[in-house]
């Protein structure tokens, strides 16, 4: 019997597990892949620093982050500008560029230090439900009862699929492609946008530059950005479906859905890992509020659904604004009403 069973040990799942275990909850963390496993997404939003401090991993992440930009250079329709991330009484905000293998290992180690039970499963994970309430998970011929199940399975969207539901799309189909090159990018972070799409390039270690590209309406691998044509490729390359989409219900009386499993917007939003970590903490916080009698199940679920919905709306409005300035014919389909999303 566990307080929480968390499916997926990426940033969302580990943040849930760490926050809950640090406050005395009994957590089962279930992952399907052996670590280290590859994931793109090395440029972390400056706002993540305070969350890493709260999770007790900031020093380890800073040790592994060799690039810390405080600006992003934007080239749009030939015009070049430098955007600062912001500042406060403590100084300039800085992003963190860190390999995902390093970040995910730091988070998983912290979770295990706090007593989280990790299982790498070999068979499919099935939710155990009783009259619509999820009471645990089953895999590898074993059953684990728990008060809450947290889906942190990323794009796999384990729980939404297991419940026979589908994510609701909120944009035309969009595919991003990414790759890595040996070399140096003077700007640290460079975002080039035009009516055809955008390229995002970032120095992610002292010797490696990452590129991520989105071409509107193109779903087959394009060439890397011209800016990087003189650099030699290294490491992995690939593509991902980043059509904006959200799970029809991101929380119920016995479950929360976090990170990419809850919703996806394209990487131009620049906050995928931040959102994964923050939603993991929020899910753990709301589950604990129920377990300690500070909120009812219905209140905790409703609060989480509203919070996630607002974030999704803010991200998609900001991206839609960017794309409207690039293309006259940009049109994001409307997203359905609150009732459809269970808000
Ligand atoms: C090309 C690209 C570039 C990006 N760049 C950035 C960037 O620069 N900065 C940024 O902040 N974000 C970026 N993102 C987004 C970012 O990668 C994601 O938002 C982030 O990884 C989401 O974290 P997560 O924990 O929700 O999911 P994930 O990191 O995908 O972790 C999910 C985990 O669940 C496990 N899992 C899946 N199914 C199961 C199952 N059935 N049982 C058990 N375990 C399971 C997986 O193995 C994985 O370990 C990018 C995305 C793409 C596609």
Q: What is the DSSP string of 80-91?
A: EEEEE--EETTE
- Which residue owns the Cα nearest ligand 1 atom 35? 8
Instruction: Provide the sign of the torsion angle of the four alpha carbons 310, 312, 315, 320, taken in this order.
Output: negative
Strand partners, 246: 168, 263
The reported pTM is 0.96
Are 258 and 150 in contact by the 8 Å Cβ rule? The answer is: yes
- Expressed in angstroms and rounded, the spacing between residue 40 Cα and the centre of ligand 1 is 8
- Expressed in angstroms and rounded, the spacing between residue 171 Cα and the centre of ligand 1 is 20
- Expressed in angstroms and rounded, the spacing between residue 105 Cα and the centre of ligand 1 is 14
- Which residue owns the Cα nearest ligand 1 atom 3? 41
- β 142-151/2-7 pair status: parallel
Euclidean distance between CA atoms 282 and 16, whole angstroms: 8
Euclidean distance between CA atoms 70 and 68, whole angstroms: 7
**pLDDT, tens digit only, all 343 positions of the chain:** 999 999 999 999 999 999 999 999 999 999 999 988 899 999 999 999 999 999 999 999 999 998 999 999 999 988 999 999 999 998 999 999 999 999 999 999 999 999 999 999 989 999 999 988 999 999 999 999 999 999 999 999 999 999 999 999 999 999 999 999 999 998 889 999 999 999 999 999 999 999 999 999 989 888 889 988 889 999 899 999 999 999 999 999 999 999 999 999 999 999 999 999 999 999 999 999 999 999 999 999 999 999 999 999 999 999 999 999 999 888 766 655 444 444 3
- Expressed in angstroms and rounded, the spacing between residue 260 Cα and the centre of ligand 1 is 6
- Which residue owns the Cα nearest ligand 1 atom 15? 272
The H-or-E segment that residue 43 falls in is strand 43-44
Domains and CATH numbers, the chain: 2-68+98-169+244-326 (3.50.50.60)
The H-or-E segment that residue 178 falls in is strand 175-182
Question: Which atom, in ligand 1's list, is nearest to the CA of 238?
Answer: 1
Euclidean distance between CA atoms 15 and 149, whole angstroms: 14
Which residue among 16, 19, 41, 284 is best mutated to probe the pocket of ligand 1, counting the most ligand atoms within 8 A of its Cβ?
Answer: 41
- Expressed in angstroms and rounded, the spacing between residue 81 Cα and the centre of ligand 1 is 30
* Residue list, ligand 1 pocket, CB within 6 Å: 7-13, 30-33, 39-44, 125, 152-156, 158, 176, 178, 212, 240, 242, 259-261, 267, 271-274, 276
Euclidean distance between CA atoms 172 and 325, whole angstroms: 17
Euclidean distance between CA atoms 190 and 203, whole angstroms: 9
Over 264-306, what HEC string results?
ECCHHHCCHHHHHHHHHHHHHHHHHHHHCCCCCHHHHHHHHHH
Give the pLDDT of residue 261.
98
Which residue among 15, 156, 204 is best mutated to probe the pocket of ligand 1, counting the most ligand atoms within 8 A of its Cβ?
Answer: 156
Question: Which atom, in ligand 1's list, is nearest to the CA of 242?
Answer: 53
- β 117-120/27-31 pair status: parallel
Euclidean distance between CA atoms 291 and 33, whole angstroms: 30
Tokens 């970040």 correspond to 103
Which residue among 18, 260, 271, 277 is best mutated to probe the pocket of ligand 1, counting the most ligand atoms within 8 A of its Cβ?
Answer: 260
């Amino acid at each position: 019997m566990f307080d929480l069973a968390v499916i997926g040990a990426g940033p969302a799942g580990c943040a849930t597990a760490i926050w809950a275990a640090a406050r005395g909850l009994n957590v089962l963390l279930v992952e399907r892949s052996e670590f280290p496993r590859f994931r793109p997404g090395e440029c972390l939003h400056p706002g993540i620093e305070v969350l890493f401090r709260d999770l007790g991993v900031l020093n380890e992440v800073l040790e592994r982050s060799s690039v810390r930009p405080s600006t992003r250079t934007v080239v749009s329709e030939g015009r070049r500008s430098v955007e600062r991330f912001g500042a406060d009484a403590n100084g300039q905000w800085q992003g963190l560029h860190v390999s995902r293998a390093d970040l995910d290992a730091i988070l998983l180690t912290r979770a295990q230090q706090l007593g989280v039970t990790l299982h790498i499963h070999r068979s499919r994970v099935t939710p155990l439900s009783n009259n619509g309430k999820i009471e645990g998970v089953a895999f590898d011929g074993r059953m684990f009862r728990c008060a809450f199940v947290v889906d942190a399975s990323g794009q796999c969207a384990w729980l939404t699929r297991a419940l026979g539901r589908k994510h609701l799309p909120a944009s035309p189909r969009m595919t991003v492609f990414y790759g890595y090159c040996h070399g140096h990018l003077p700007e640290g972070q460079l975002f080039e946008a035009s009516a055809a799409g955008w390229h995002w390039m970032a120095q992610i270690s002292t010797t490696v530059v990452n590129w991520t590209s989105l071409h509107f309406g193109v779903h087959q691998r394009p060439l890397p950005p011209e800016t990087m044509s003189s650099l030699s490729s290294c490491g992995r390359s690939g593509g991902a479906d980043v059509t904006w989409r959200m799970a029809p219900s991101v929380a119920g009386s016995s479950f929360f859905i976090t990170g990419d499993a809850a919703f996806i917007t394209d990487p131009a939003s620049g906050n995928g890992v931040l959102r994964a970590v923050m939603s993991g903490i929020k899910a753990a916080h709301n589950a604990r509020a129920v377990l300690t009698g500070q909120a009812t199940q219905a209140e905790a679920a409703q609060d989480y659904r509203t919070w996630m919905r607002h974030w999704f709306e803010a991200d998609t409005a900001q991206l839609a604004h960017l794309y409207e300035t690039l293309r006259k014919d940009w049109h994001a389909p409307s997203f359905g009403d609150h009732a459809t999303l269970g808000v």
